[in-house]
Amino acid sequence: MKADGHIHTPFCPHGTKDTFEEYIVQSKQLGFDEISFTEHAPLPARFVDPTPQKDSGMDPNELENYFTVLTELQKKFASEIKINIGLEVDYIEGYEEDTKAFLNEYGRYLNDSILSVHFLKKGNHFYCLDYSPDMFETMIGDYSSVEAVYDAYYHTLLSSITSDLGPYKPKRIGHMTLVHKFQKKFPASKNFSDKINSILDLIAEQGLSLDYNGAGINKPLCREVYPYEQVIKEAIKRKIPLVYGSDAHSRKDLNQGFDDLFKGAVLVSPTTY
């Protein structure tokens, strides 16, 4: 089975307006048997999005329509391709109760979900770490070094795994090495392997899976999948399930990075672990 567990939609405020049907037809043409639409969940109401356009999460007023549209598409294409209704949920330090309340209300409608870290807190300020090279450079100045940004990212990632977000907490960790997005411009002087391996140990202990995300391969300042090969080898040692995700924000992004996946990896369906 060929599955994609991480696809965005026309409900994404920073994506394209490619239709659901265009994503589905393209997925079928690429040989996918199963796909998960995992739109960025609405951010907590009291959280101030640090991106200039305030467009990191979907409009909360569109959430019920999102579920309705996808439910109809599941029925329409049931005999052709398995479609999962999902969300990519942000872990945001200090907003755990908000996220738990959201999942308690809407988690029952989900077939699939991903837990990701995009926002890092420094003092009373948040940054969106993957927004742009300029924002990342500002972070380096505020944190004092590239390595300090990496350290903060992995610390926050660890917190996302240990946090109590209730019974509907996502069981897949999104793009584990997203902090590498701008590595060719801002390289780190160490590899953080000890910290990464500790995180993998915890993922294995909790029975979680990893988003094997192909998007980084097409990012000009990254040029590697998230997570990169050595991390995948360590995940395999720990028998952590790996779910391929294109992280497509347009239909042309589907299948990105699939041919660059580590050949020793065994990929699983988003909904079978």
Q: Is 162 helix (H, G, I), strand (E, B) or coil?
A: helix
| pLDDT in the model for residue 205 | 98
Say if residue 273's pLDDT is above 90: no
Sorting pLDDT into bands at 50, 70 and 90, what band is 177? very high
Give the pLDDT score at 272: 85
Q: What is the model's pLDDT at position 65? A: 98
Tracing tokens 């049931």 back to the chain, one arrives at 78
pTM of the model: 0.97
How much is the pLDDT for 43? 98
> In terms of Cα–Cα distance, which of 16, 70, 33, 77 is closest to 244?
33
179 pLDDT higher than 90:
yes
Average pLDDT for 97-105: 98
> Quick check: 165 and 103 in contact, CB under 8 A?
yes
Across the range 70-86, mean pLDDT stands at 98
Structure token digits, residue 146: 């590239």
Neighbouring-strand partners of residue 173: 115, 210
* pLDDT at residue 1, rounded to an integer: 85
pLDDT band per the 50, 70, 90 thresholds, residue 181: very high
How far is the C-alpha of 113 from the C-alpha of 173, rounded, in Å?
Answer: 9
Is the Cβ–Cβ distance between 157 and 115 less than 8 Å? no
Q: What separation in angstroms does the CA of 99 have from each of 44, 53, 272?
A: 7, 22, 25
Helix axes 133-143, 146-162, angle to 10 degrees: 90
DSSP 197: H
Average pLDDT, stretch 116-139? 97
- Cα separation, 82 vs 100, whole angstroms: 28
At 100, the amino acid letter reads K
| pLDDT average, residue stretch 212-221 | 98
Average pLDDT, the chain: 97
Q: With H, G, I as helix, E, B as strand and everything else as coil, classify residue 56.
A: coil
- Alpha helix stretches (DSSP H) within 58-145: 63-76, 96-106, 133-143
Across the range 67-72, mean pLDDT stands at 98
Q: Note whether 159 and 117 are within 8 A (CB).
A: no
What is the SS3 assignment for 234? Answer: helix
pLDDT band at 109 (very low <50, low <70, confident <90, very high): very high
Q: Tokens 């052709």 identify what position?
A: 80
What percent of the chain clears pLDDT 70, i.e. is strictly above it?
A: 100
Closest by CA position to 89, among listed 19, 191, 198, 166: 166
**What tens digit of pLDDT does each residue of 184-206 get?**
999 999 999 999 999 999 999 99
